[in-house]
Structure 1
Amino acid sequence: MTDRTDPVQPGTGLPGLDLGRLAAHLGTPPLTAELIPGGRSNLTYRLTDGTSRWVLRRPPLGHVLATAHDMAREHRVITALAGSAVPVPATEHLCTDPDVIGAPFYLMQEVPGVALRHRDQCPWLTPDTAAALSARLVDVLADLHAVDPDAVGLGDFGRPDGFLRRQVARWAKQLESSRSRDLPGVDDLRDRLAATVPDTRRAAIVHGDYRLDNVLVTDDPPAISAVLDWEMATLGDPLADLGLLRVYWTGLGLADDPITGTVSALPGFASADDLVERYARRSGADVSGLGWYTAFAYFKLAVILEGIHYRFTTGKTVGAGFDRIGRLTLPLVRQGLAATAGEN
Structure 2
Amino acid sequence: MSAGVTTGTSIPDTDLTALVGWLRSVGVETSGEITCSRVGFGQSNLTYTVRDEAGRQWVLRRPPVGHLLASAHDVAREARILEALEATDVPVPHIYGVCEDAAVSPVPLVAMEFVDGAVLTDRSAGEKVSPEVRSAVGAAMTETLAHIHAVDLDAVGLADLASHKPYAQRQLKRWSAQWEKSKTRERPDLDTLTARLSDNIPEQHETTLVHGDFHIRNVMIGPESGAVSAVLDWELSTLGDPLADIGSTLAYWPERTDAVVLGDPVEVMDGFPDRDQLAQAYLERTGRDPQALRYWHVLGLWKVAIIAEGVLRRARENPANRAAAGVPTPAHVDNFVARAVAVADEAGL
TM-score by length of 1: 0.90
Secondary structure (helix, strand or coil) at the match of 2:162 reads coil
Equivalent position amino acid for 2:311 in 1: I
The question of 1:309 aligning with 2:306 is answered no
The aligned residue for residue 341 of structure 2 is 337
The question of 1:270 aligning with 2:267 is answered no
> Quick one: distance in 2 between partners of 1:142 and 1:338?
27
Seen in structure 2, the aligned counterparts of structure 1 residues 96 and 252 have a Cα distance that, compared at 3 Å, is: farther
The aligned residue for residue 199 of structure 1 is 203
Secondary structure (helix, strand or coil) at the match of 1:205 reads strand
1:298 to 296, 301, 305: 301
> Quick one: distance in 2 between partners of 1:144 and 1:323?
29
The aligned residue for residue 181 of structure 1 is 185
> Quick one: distance in 1 between partners of 2:97 and 2:207?
29
Matches within 5 A, 1:3-82: 9-10=6-7, 13-27=10-24, 30-51=33-54, 52-82=56-86
Q: Structure 1 residue 20: deviation in Å?
A: 2.8
The aligned residue for residue 89 of structure 1 is 93
Equivalent position amino acid for 1:289 in 2: A
The aligned residue for residue 5 of structure 1 is none
> Could you report, residue by residue, the CA deviation over 1:126-157 in whole angstroms, capped at 9, with x for unpaired residues?
22222211111110101110111111111111
Aligned length: 336
Q: Structure 1 residue 12: deviation in Å?
A: 8.8
Seen in structure 2, the aligned counterparts of structure 1 residues 37 and 276 have a Cα distance that, compared at 3 Å, is: closer
Q: 1:308, 1:325 within 8 Å by CA — same for their partners in 2?
A: no
The aligned residue for residue 169 of structure 1 is 173
The aligned residue for residue 318 of structure 1 is 322
Matches within 5 A, 1:226-305: 226-250=230-254, 253-254=257-258, 257-258=261-262, 261-305=264-308
Equivalent position amino acid for 2:88 in 1: S
Q: Structure 1 residue 9: deviation in Å?
A: 4.8
Q: Structure 1 residue 189: deviation in Å?
A: 1.4
Q: 1:57, 1:106 within 8 Å by CA — same for their partners in 2?
A: yes
Matches within 5 A, 1:69-148: 69-148=73-152
Q: Structure 1 residue 243: deviation in Å?
A: 0.5
**Any unmatched runs of 5+ in structure 2?**
25-29
Equivalent position amino acid for 1:173 in 2: A
Q: Structure 1 residue 274: deviation in Å?
A: 1.7
Equivalent position amino acid for 2:194 in 1: R
Q: Structure 1 residue 252: deviation in Å?
A: 8.4
> Could you report, residue by residue, the CA deviation over 1:63-88 in whole angstroms, capped at 9, with x for unpaired residues?
21111111111001111111211110
Equivalent position amino acid for 2:162 in 1: G
The aligned residue for residue 27 of structure 2 is none
Seen in structure 2, the aligned counterparts of structure 1 residues 257 and 323 have a Cα distance that, compared at 3 Å, is: closer
> Quick one: distance in 2 between partners of 1:172 and 1:256?
24
